Structure 1
Amino acid sequence: MSTLTSGKSADVRSALWSVRLTFLLSGALFATWVARTPTIKEQLGLDEAGLATAFAGMNVGAVLGLQLGKFVTLRFGSRATLRVAVPLFAVSLSGLLVAGNLAGLTAALCTFAVINSVVDVAMNAHGVAVEKASERPLLSGIHACFSLGMIGGSLVGAAVERAHIALPTHFAAVSVVVAVAAVLGGRGMLPSSIDRMVPGAEVSSGGARRWPARLIVLGLLAFCVALAEGAANDWTAVYLHEETHASTTVAAVGFALFAGSMFAGRLLGDRLVTWFGPVRPFVLGTVAAGLGLGVALLTGGTLPALLGVAVFGFGISFTLPLAFAASGTVPGVPTARAIANVSFIGYLGFFTGPVLIGFVAQNHGLTVGLAVPVLFVLLAAAGSGALRPRP
């Protein structure tokens, strides 16, 4: 911990920009897949159940990746993990192109999700480390860079969709750009010693308490809001295209609107925490998100859907960073382990939600399926007290 708190301000600023870049690149990679999901779905001739099966492959990969991410981040530190995992994540995007059928897509998405989860655990751990070193709220703004990456990735996806550029060209170009940027931009991160767990040090530091009650509650809050975010990531474009009959280009723009509202909310999130503390912004955000999307689903139509998606994105934008930031302050648990544990529960929701919605949609329609994240964000509001700082 002394290494973390005694770092020079210049080193912390450099690390802040490096971790921001990492979040941006991760968002761009994920959005590249999401923005062209309708095209991939059509090319492979998949129905909702088939797409849900492919998402199930992502779910399996996500669970495996969270465990792997926890292990390598604790063993080698978040910096070392990210220097390897982000370029691999970029390469795995192009691996989706080998899918010629549902089985191939499921396997490719499983691999994609494994590496995505490793990156998620490590970059959140590093983000919390930078926030602690700065001694001010930063994590919501860091997550804003992920949303900015999703905006860029989805807008590029809309542009190449409109220009009828082939998927192999699109995905290969994105993979190369992200891999090079990750290698060049990751050199400013804080040293791995800030969160690498030295063998034998955990017990002496009180780290044996891996799952105190507050950490479990924070994990459940993360599960609820991550489920909602994952649902919007994977089903927004499909809902707009198939339920409101928007074109594939408008569907991709709709996802960009969701990402843009997430970006705006996360930019504001750190300031809201400074003004009001973490609890009230979390409650207002989750309630607004639930009402915004719920009304849009009841109303129907492309324009209400676009507005509802925007309100939903803004409302949940800073909720997951709040859960991560709070987990890093739980007494008796090393920061890297706390982040990994909360990430494990939270990202189960991120990858479980789309699968659940897919199977609900197959039987009751996608409009009913998207009522699931509405219920979960409203449920999360009830547990917001766990975010309150403890002595």
Structure 2
Amino acid sequence: MDGVLTRPQLVRWRTAIFAIFFATGLGFASWAARLPAVKIDLGINDLQIGVLLFVSGAAAIVGLSLANVIVVRWGARRGMFGTIMAFSLGLMIVGLGVQFLQSYEVTAIGLALMGAGMSATDVMMNVEAAAVEQSFGKTLMPLFHAFFSFGTVAGAGIGVAIVAWGVGVAWHLWAVGILVLITGLASLGAVPVRELVQDEPGTKASRRERFTVALAVWRDPRTYAIGVIMLGMAFAEGSANDWLTIAMVDGHRESQTVGAIALTVFSVAMTVFRVLGGPLVDWLGRVWTLRILSIAAVVGLVMFILAPNLPIAFVGIALWGAGASLGFPLGMSAAADDPAKAAASVSAAATIGYLAFLCGPPILGWISHEIGILPTLWIIVVLIALSGLFSGAAKPLATSTVGAGHTHSPSRSH
């Protein structure tokens, strides 16, 4: 059963989950930074690169599907021991397949393992992060997601240096894989075993009850309403990550350098608001924060689409990034409001959100091929507006210790 954790134990737990978010971001960005080298070393074309990315994405969907089962069967903490090892091993197999074996098939196997391990870890680290947040009694989920962003920035920066030094893909990904593995396993050692995240060993009957609860959340209308919030914002974030540079170059006829700067502006705006998001939510409340930021994202994206000049486009990009920054983490936070259903609900919400991340960019690519990239972005405007309309679904439940805002819960000061 759960015991009362001391302040130092809570801080160690929080720090451990911060480290896991950072490590997964680092690993993902390290692979992405070596895509040009992968293409050259394997002697493949863009279509074959696309197939590799599809393999990784398809495996990630499998990982999402398995994550809830893993949490129910073994708990979030023990489950992450296996998924982090799978993610790290996948990175190392990719390095082996690319540089030494120069095997397309081995590389694909590594990417499949990496994709499944990362997506399953994503679900479980969010389950743990939600439990940490409830234990502290203040909004922390945006900050956890900011650490993932810090990891991607670090991974991209290290990748630039590694490429400049002429280090091969294998040595790079092996080093990162080992670092991710050590960081992940060491961090999990500081995570307490808690019934809240289903880490307590149970009887067969209790596991059956857990599976029943896990399935029951899919019959709860609130799960789908929160899913709509996350769906719109996941599309808003994913579309920028994958299509902003192309929209700037092909849509606004700017250079590739300007496209890269645009993506940097978006990423910085998103990261800054994730760092500041917790205090903002604790002041305004979860629902009003989501409503205001959805308006900001809609205004920003419309400004970008219609921008007559570069300064207005960049202002729009900054608003777009800021507005899209908190939808995903606050959706996770809302899903964890009921401690009895937290693990199952967060797993379900994460599945909806990550499916949008994985499936959204290819769908947008197909549509943009038919009508152009800037007109395609109007679809994202509609989805963001829909996300804002459903923001009321994130209203904290009576069982929640976070998200109401200071005007509604003056007694919850920590």
Return the offset for 1:160: 4.3
Per the alignment, residue 206 of structure 2 pairs with 201
Give the residue type in structure 2 aligned to 1:335: A
- Partner Cα separation in structure 2 for residue 231 and residue 218 of structure 1: 20
Aligned pairs (5 A) from 1:139-178: 139-160=141-162, 166-178=168-180
CA gap of 1:239–1:181, structure 2 versus 1, over 3 A, is farther
Return the offset for 1:188: 1.0
Deviations 1:323-357 (A, max 9, x none): 111111148x5211111111111211111111112
1:338 to 323, 336, 345: 345
Per the alignment, residue 123 of structure 1 pairs with 125
Per the alignment, residue 311 of structure 1 pairs with 319
Return the offset for 1:373: 3.0
Per the alignment, residue 46 of structure 1 pairs with 46
Is 1:87–1:179's contact at 8 Å kept on the other side of the alignment? Answer: yes
1:352 to 359, 378, 385: 359
| Most deviating of 284-293 and 364-373 | 364-373
CA gap of 1:194–1:344, structure 2 versus 1, over 3 A, is same
Per the alignment, residue 259 of structure 1 pairs with 267
CA gap of 1:138–1:169, structure 2 versus 1, over 3 A, is same
Give the residue type in structure 2 aligned to 1:195: V
Return the offset for 1:18: 0.2
1:231 aligns with 2:231: no
% same residue: 25
CA gap of 1:358–1:58, structure 2 versus 1, over 3 A, is farther
| Most deviating of 74-83 and 151-160 | 151-160
1:74 aligns with 2:72: yes
1:33 aligns with 2:31: yes
Q: In terms of Rg, which structure is larger?
A: 2
| Most deviating of 198-207 and 263-272 | 198-207
Is 1:278–1:322's contact at 8 Å kept on the other side of the alignment? Answer: yes
Return the offset for 1:294: 3.2
Per the alignment, residue 139 of structure 2 pairs with 137
Greater relative contact order (Cα < 8 A, sep 6+): 1
- Partner Cα separation in structure 1 for residue 274 and residue 18 of structure 2: 13
- Partner Cα separation in structure 2 for residue 38 and residue 288 of structure 1: 35
CA gap of 1:68–1:204, structure 2 versus 1, over 3 A, is closer
- Partner Cα separation in structure 1 for residue 292 and residue 179 of structure 2: 38
- Partner Cα separation in structure 2 for residue 390 and residue 148 of structure 1: 31
Is 1:14–1:188's contact at 8 Å kept on the other side of the alignment? Answer: yes
Deviations 1:36-85 (A, max 9, x none): 556656874316xx766554434422221111111112211111122332
| Most deviating of 316-325 and 38-47 | 38-47
1:382 to 385, 389, 392: 389
1:3 aligns with 2:7: no
Secondary structure of the residue aligned to 1:137 is coil
Gaps of 5+ in 2: 399-414
| Most deviating of 67-76 and 182-191 | 182-191
1:365 aligns with 2:372: yes
Return the offset for 1:242: 6.2
Return the offset for 1:192: 4.9
CA gap of 1:357–1:96, structure 2 versus 1, over 3 A, is farther
Give the residue type in structure 1 aligned to 2:236: A
Deviations 1:244-297 (A, max 9, x none): 55447x766654443332221111111111111101111121221232233223
1:83 to 81, 84, 93: 81
Is 2:335–2:349's contact at 8 Å kept on the other side of the alignment? Answer: yes
CA gap of 1:308–1:24, structure 2 versus 1, over 3 A, is farther
Structure 2 length normalisation: TM-score?
Answer: 0.81
CA gap of 1:153–1:308, structure 2 versus 1, over 3 A, is farther
- Partner Cα separation in structure 2 for residue 157 and residue 316 of structure 1: 26
| Most deviating of 158-167 and 372-381 | 158-167
Secondary structure of the residue aligned to 1:209 is helix
Is 1:79–1:189's contact at 8 Å kept on the other side of the alignment? Answer: yes
CA gap of 1:168–1:312, structure 2 versus 1, over 3 A, is farther
CA RMSD of aligned residues (A): 3.2
Is 2:72–2:207's contact at 8 Å kept on the other side of the alignment? Answer: no
Deviations 1:107-151 (A, max 9, x none): 654433211111111000000111122122211212211111122
Structure 1 length normalisation: TM-score?
Answer: 0.85
Is 1:143–1:321's contact at 8 Å kept on the other side of the alignment? Answer: yes
